[in-house]
Amino acid sequence: MSWAYFLNFISRWVLFGVAAYKTRREESRGWMLIMFAFLLAALDPERLLLEPLGLSLVSSVSFVLDMINTAFQGVLLILAADYLAPSNPSLKNSLLSLGVGVLAYLWIVITNVSTVEVSFFLKSFGPMMGYAAGYIYMGLLLYRYVITRRPGQILFPAGMILLGFLNATYPVTATWQWFIPYGFWLGTIFRIMMAIGALSFVLWPFVSPDSDDGHEVPGGAFMYPSRSAAMRALGDFEKIPSMVLITRRDVNSLEDGLHPNAIVFWMTRVAEGELSDSPRVYAISPTKIDILTDFIAGALDRGYAVVVVEAVEYLIVENGFESAFKFLLNIKDRVLLRGGTMALIVDPASLEKQQLKTLEREFKME
């Protein structure tokens, strides 16, 4: 059991570290809530603080605190899922999540009144159902909107869903003495799955593209007044598997026109996370250009060689010309360092004369 406890302990802190990293990188409320949920899962003050001092909590107090911790994790994950979903967080869903928390708290209070004899099943049922709902719901949302379909990354939501179902059985199986060590090992395995999947999600967010099937694109940094002009100069670049596209186009129109291995960053304020798997379409705020830079750098590291920016005007409106220009130069340097191609598609009439001249110094107008 000591090895199981060690692996369980490490996997919990790995999950907290991944969530903390995503919170810092993306400044996301959703990942911040996940971080706090995983922190609650990782903390074990009785074992880490009291046992070394030869102290322990009264069993009834320990149980109540454990149930509060459990219920709170579920509530945090349900709230986090609302922020990570493509739609904006709604007041209705937030109130529903908080309602689950209040209900779980009242359940704990009522079932632990000293003058009432209540079975272990009833005492643990409410908090554990909240916990299970949070993990299962978050796992389903991660699979649907956030991660890619790579085998490594799928372990993250799969482990969450399995852990949720396992803990849903806790009010019954915790009374089976023969099952307790097996249940602990199963929980450890599911947490290890989550940890491996989470690390894969952070370290390898994109798959490597297929070969370009002989499609040759001239290297360099260019600017075109329209998509048709870019097509004439670069060929049918939308069919290139190693293309990264930054766009404001209707996402529903992208699936048929682009190569399935292309990566699309859709600039929007109304959604967040993965919207499509083939091609891979990710919704991201236009103001998160630092995060977008990291995503594009990761794609370039994995073999993507063509970066097309169609949303230049939108980036300028949202960030100001100076910040948007610095972002474009940063991406340009990364692309050219790898011998790739970067193309801006921007209507000259939408820019001020000085802005156009500044872009033309860095990107050859075709």
Q: Are residues 54 and 85 in the same domain?
A: yes
Which residues are within 8 A (CB) of 41 and not within 5 positions of it... i.e. 6 or more apart? 12, 15, 16, 73
Tell me the C-alpha distance between 180 and 187, whole Å. 10
Q: Does residue 119 belong to any structural domain of this protein? A: yes
Q: Do you find a cis peptide bond into 86, omega within 30 degrees of 0?
A: no
Q: Are residues 199 and 246 in the same domain?
A: no
Tell me the C-alpha distance between 48 and 160, whole Å. 25
Q: Are residues 194 and 278 in the same domain?
A: no
Q: Are residues 231 and 358 in the same domain?
A: yes
Q: Does residue 215 belong to any structural domain of this protein? A: no
**Which secondary structure element, helix H or strand E, spans residue 176, and what is its range?**
none
Q: Are residues 138 and 16 in the same domain?
A: yes
The pLDDT value given to residue 149: 65
Structural domain that includes position 107: 2-203
Tell me the C-alpha distance between 289 and 126, whole Å. 43
Q: Does residue 288 belong to any structural domain of this protein? A: yes
> What is the chain's alpha carbon radius of gyration, rounded to the nearest angstrom?
25
Amino acid letter at 336? L
Domain containing residue 303: CATH number: 3.40.220
The pLDDT value given to residue 160: 92
Q: What is the pTM of this model?
A: 0.64
Q: Are residues 124 and 28 in the same domain?
A: yes
Q: Are residues 52 and 122 in the same domain?
A: yes
Counting the structural domains of the chain, the total is 2
The pLDDT value given to residue 135: 92
Q: Are residues 140 and 85 in the same domain?
A: yes
Q: Does residue 211 belong to any structural domain of this protein? A: no
Which of 177, 203, 229 is the last residue before a domain boundary? 203
The pLDDT value given to residue 363: 87
Tokens 């209040």 — which residue? 102
Per-residue pLDDT of the chain (366 residues; tens, 9 = 90+): 577 778 888 888 899 998 998 888 767 788 899 999 998 888 865 555 555 556 565 566 677 778 888 888 888 898 888 777 655 556 666 777 778 778 877 877 777 776 667 788 888 888 888 889 899 999 988 887 666 666 778 888 899 999 999 999 988 888 888 888 888 889 889 999 999 988 888 777 655 555 455 567 778 888 888 888 888 887 777 788 888 889 888 877 777 777 777 888 988 887 777 777 677 788 888 888 887 887 888 778 777 888 999 888 989 988 998 999 999 999 999 889 888 889 898 888 888 889 889 988 888 877
